[in-house]
Chains A and B, each alone.
Chain A
Amino acid sequence: MTSADSGRDRILARIRVSMSLRSPVPLPDRLGEPVEVASATNVVIDRFVHQFAAAGGEAVVHPDLRAALAWASVWCSDFPAAAVSASLPDALRPRLPAVAPADAALAVSAAIAAAAETGTLLLDSRDGRRLQLLAPVHLVWIPRASVYLTLRSALRMARGRQGAAIGLHSGPSKSADIGGVLVHGVHGPGRVIAAIVPDEIFAGTR
């Protein structure tokens, strides 16, 4: 037996002695409504936009691909280059030179889901965690059907589909550690833009 094993065994033995003094408490059911089947009603989208903005993020809803591309071409023209996630559909890739995340002023990726109740984007580590974090501005595209009312539904949808990690991003990086004054962009992006687009743009991607 190694010393590591003996440490483990000592801890577990003490826990079992302590637990013998406690009456077992049953596990309560999950809290809240059953997991949603349908999503992306206008009410859900509006809630997401509201909550994301309340957290300091910016959200835009595009009715179709044409409107989305027209908006993106103007919006992205402010940047000299961008870091872009590999999984992004070709149509949504900005017409900008590609750079590494550490050198990028703009990062562009897609969310695997979003939660309206908290204004949260769920980001897959397969798209690159550095890309999601290092650039000062992050544009995130979201297929409309992937916006769920509750965080629980969004997490359940994402579970098992991701790489080594899921990042939940709800607005820009922020801190009030300097004299209680709120500052954006401390370590992660100081601007996060969530762009909701029709689902067909993502057809054929994961």
Chain B
Amino acid sequence: MSVEARAYGSRALAILRDTPAMRDSVTAGALTLDSARRVGYASVDIESWRRWAEQVKNHVLTHLDRYLLQAEDRLRANGASVHWADTPADAAGIVSDLARRHGVRTVVKGKSMLSEEVGVNASLEAMGIDVYETDLGEYIIQLLGEMPSHIIAPAIHRGLDDVRALFHERLDTPRDAAPEVLAAAARRVLRGAFLAADMGITGVNFLVAETGTLALVENEGNIRLTTTMPRVHVALVGIEKLLPRFDDLATFLQLISRAATGQAIGTFVSLIQGPRTAVDVDGPDEVHVVLVDGGRSALLADPEAWEALRCLRCGACLNACPVFRQTGGHAYGWAYSGPIGAILAPALLGMEEGGALPFASTLCGACVEACPVRIPIPRLLHSWRDRLADARLTSRGERIGMKGYARVMTNPRLYRLASLLLRRLPGPVRGGRVTPVLKHWTAWRGALEPSTRPFHELWRDGIT
């Protein structure tokens, strides 16, 4: 996995400065999804659903060893093979070994953020295997050589004209092709890949411990084809993806769909019990489930951040976030972006690599309102900021600045002196035209003009 999370600031700045159309695409797409989510939430008793889902996931996480072992037993009884991967590299190694053992030449993939975290494509391509992303958005960014910029809408940063130009160059479609024509062109290429593929790789949305059922939600049908056509299906499963009971699926399938897109349920849900049986007409001969830790078991020990393990990867917090909507996911520099990425990064990447991301937030709280499992994201962002400051992993300038600010704001005499100085500063300095940080503000807006008299004087004189 390519990780450049520590460069968040410079990447975000470059996106905003160099590609304003990207911001327009991300903002429009995210606001559409957020609006649909609000409609989807409004037609059910969403607060009861969210509280219930939070408790179910907390129960799973506080009994995780038991449910993992139960799921392993059921999966094996159903004929699936179970592998355990301590690290993302271990998971990539398991998939590569399976590909080698089965003489795989072509792989089709369903969209999976865990596969991005693991870096499956790179390891398979290094073996000379053709890997096809089959989700339409993933296919677009694969052709562009980009990472996903959203958990459920990987090409959200690309507009129609971008795709027209790309497909004209790569698939020979007309320059002004309609979206239907573009989709049909991608379908033709990918249908060929499905028919030729030896292995299908997916993530999963849920793994039911009681029955060993893998549940995958989507809208295009590519995941159903990925788990149907090739002779080997490999499912990458984060160890936090468990549900205790088959009955729990009915609510979680609807909850994740409403949170992600506002739909009552995703268009296609695959509930997979294992490889094809004697009574099946088709389907894979082998199903391999790779249970991936990748820092999750250690995160479970964190007194606050463990709550991030409830995440369903629906993307609702991304759509609600005014900071994410400015840049899209590429600024975050790794698989998970937006508010959930900002709280997972220091835990899964380490505080040095992921420490910039908890600051990519206004702490407005929109994410916690959107989250289907009530992860207290702003509180966790605060917690990471405190820890980063304690570990002296914030910038030196910021530490000095905040220390000085605290000193001034907690001392009335210093506060009044600072206020006086600010009012007496020469115009260009006070107005921000030559002041660090402020000059970026005033490049696009009017200068800051402090009142000629301080507020406490105005208050004293009754002029407010």
Is there contact, CB below 8 Å, between B28 and A167? no
B401 to A: closest C-beta gap in Å: 36
**B95 contacts the other chain (CB 8 A):** no
Q: Mark A155-180, 1 if CB is under 8 A from B, else 0.
A: 11001001111111111111111111
Within B243-299, the residues touching A (CB, 8 Å) are 244-251, 253-254, 263-277, 279-283, 291, 293, 297-299
Among A86, A129, A175, the residue within 8 A (CB) of B224 is: A129
| Complex contact B90–A7 (CB within 8 A) | yes
- Contact B271–A177 (Cβ < 8 Å): no
CA distance A31 to B50 in the complex (A): 11
Q: Which of A25-43 contact B (CB under 8 A)?
A: 25-28, 30-32
- Per the bound structure, the CA–CA distance linking A162 and B280 in Å amounts to 9
In the docked arrangement, what's the CA distance between A96 and B220, Å? 28
Give A11 to B294 CA distance when docked, in angstroms.
10
Q: Give the chain A neighbours of B293 by CB distance below 8 A.
A: 11, 14
A203 within 8 A of B: no
**Complex interface: chain B residues within 8 A of A51 (CB):** 264
Closest Cβ–Cβ distance, residue B61 to chain A (whole Å): 7
Q: Point out the residues of chain A lying under 8 angstroms from B48, CB to CB.
A: 31
Complex alpha-carbon distance, A116 and B303, angstroms? 42
CA A156 – CA B179 in complex, angstroms?
A: 39
Given B160, B266, B283, B301, which contacts A170 in the complex, CB threshold below 8 Å?
A: B266
Contact of B279 among A10, A126, A170 (CB under 8 A): A126
Residues of A within 8 A of B359 (CB): none
Name which residue of chain B comes closest to A56, CB basis. Answer: B267
Beta-carbon contact of B221 and A19 below 8 Å: no
Quick check: A28 and B59 within 8 Å, CB to CB? yes
A156 in contact with B247 given A174-B220, A187-B222, A187-B225 (CB within 8 Å): yes
Residues in B with CB closer than 8 Å to A129 are 224, 228, 281-283
Cβ–Cβ contact B246 & A155, under 8 A: yes
* A55 contacts B280, C-beta separation under 8 Å: no
Q: Given the interface contacts A4-B83, A151-B253, does A186 sit within 8 Å of B136 by beta carbon?
A: yes
Question: Which listed residue (B187, B228, B253, B306) contacts A130, Cβ 8 A?
Answer: B228
Contact status of A169 and B268, CB under 8 A, knowing A151-B254, A174-B220, A188-B225: yes
- A181 to B: closest C-beta gap in Å: 4
Asked if A146 CB lies within 8 Å of chain B CBs, one says no
Q: How many residues of chain A get a CB closer than 8 Å to chain B's CBs?
A: 74
Contact A164 to B277, CB < 8 A, known contacts A156-B247, A170-B265? yes
Query: A31-B251, A175-B183, A179-B163 in contact; A170/B267 too (CB < 8 A)?
Result: yes
**CA distance in complex: A18, B140 (Å):** 40
* B63 lies within 8 A of A117 (CB): no
Say yes or no: is A1 at the interface (Cβ < 8 Å to chain B): no
Query: Which of B1-9, B151-159, B409-417, B437-445 binds A?
Result: B151-159
Cβ of A204 within 8 Å of any chain B Cβ, yes or no, is no
**Choice from A14, A28, A152 contacting B55 with Cβ under 8 Å:** A28
Encode contact with B along A65-80: 1 for CB under 8 Å, 0 otherwise: 0000000000000000
Bound-state Cα–Cα, A113 to B230, Å: 27
Chain B, residue nearest A160 (CB):
B211
Q: Whole-angstrom distance between the alpha carbons of A170 and B221 in the complex?
A: 11
Interface assignment of B355: CB less than 8 Å from any CB of chain A: no
Q: How would residues 119 to 152 of chain A score, 1 for a CB under 8 Å from any chain B CB and 0 otherwise?
A: 1100001111111111000000000000000111
| A51 to B69 Cα, complex, angstroms | 38
Q: Is the CB of A11 within 8 A of B273?
A: no
A8 B187 Cβ-Cβ under 8 A: no
Of chain A, the residue at the smallest CB distance from B177 is A178
Query: When the two chains form their complex, are residues A125 and B281 in contact, meaning their CB atoms are under 8 A apart?
Result: yes
Q: How far is the CA of A32 from the CA of B282 in the complex (A)?
A: 35
CA distance A180 to B279 in the complex (A): 41
Report Cα–Cα, A98/B355, bound state, in Å. 60
Contact of B64 with A174 in the complex, beta carbons under 8 Å: no
A91 is an interface residue with CB less than 8 A from chain B: no
Separation of A162 and B160 alpha carbons in the complex (Å): 41
Closest to B57 in A: A25
User: Interface readout for B182-206 with A: 1 if CB under 8 Å, 0 if not?
Assistant: 1100110011000100000000000
Task: With both chains docked as a complex, state the minimum distance between the C-beta of A152 and any C-beta of chain B, in angstroms.
Answer: 4
Flag if B264 contacts A187 (CB, 8 Å): no
How many Å lie between the Cα of A11 and that of B160 in the bound state?
A: 45
State the CA gap A180–B301 with chains docked (Å): 40
Determine whether B56 belongs to the interface, using a CB cutoff of 8 Å to chain A: yes
Query: Does B68 touch A at the CB level, under 8 Å?
Result: yes
Given known A152-B247, A170-B265, A188-B221, contact A126–B280 (CB-CB < 8 A): yes
B85 within 8 A of A: yes
State the 10 A-B residue pairs at the shortest beta-carbon distance, nearest first: A188-B221, A179-B160, A177-B137, A152-B250, A18-B300, A168-B269, A128-B281, A18-B301, A14-B297, A8-B84
User: Residues on B close to A: CB < 8 A?
Assistant: 25, 28-29, 32, 48-49, 52, 55-56, 58-59, 61-65, 68-69, 83-86, 90, 134-137, 140, 153-155, 158-163, 179-180, 182-183, 186-187, 190-191, 195, 211, 219-222, 224-225, 227-229, 239, 244-251, 253-254, 263-277, 279-283, 291, 293, 297-301, 303, 306
- Residue contacts A-B, CB under 8 angstroms, 10 given: A18-B306, A24-B63, A28-B52, A55-B263, A128-B281, A155-B246, A174-B220, A181-B160, A183-B183, A187-B221
11 additional contacts (CB under 8 A) given A27-B56, A168-B268, A180-B25:
A11-B239, A14-B298, A14-B300, A30-B245, A31-B52, A164-B273, A175-B137, A177-B136, A178-B160, A179-B162, A187-B191
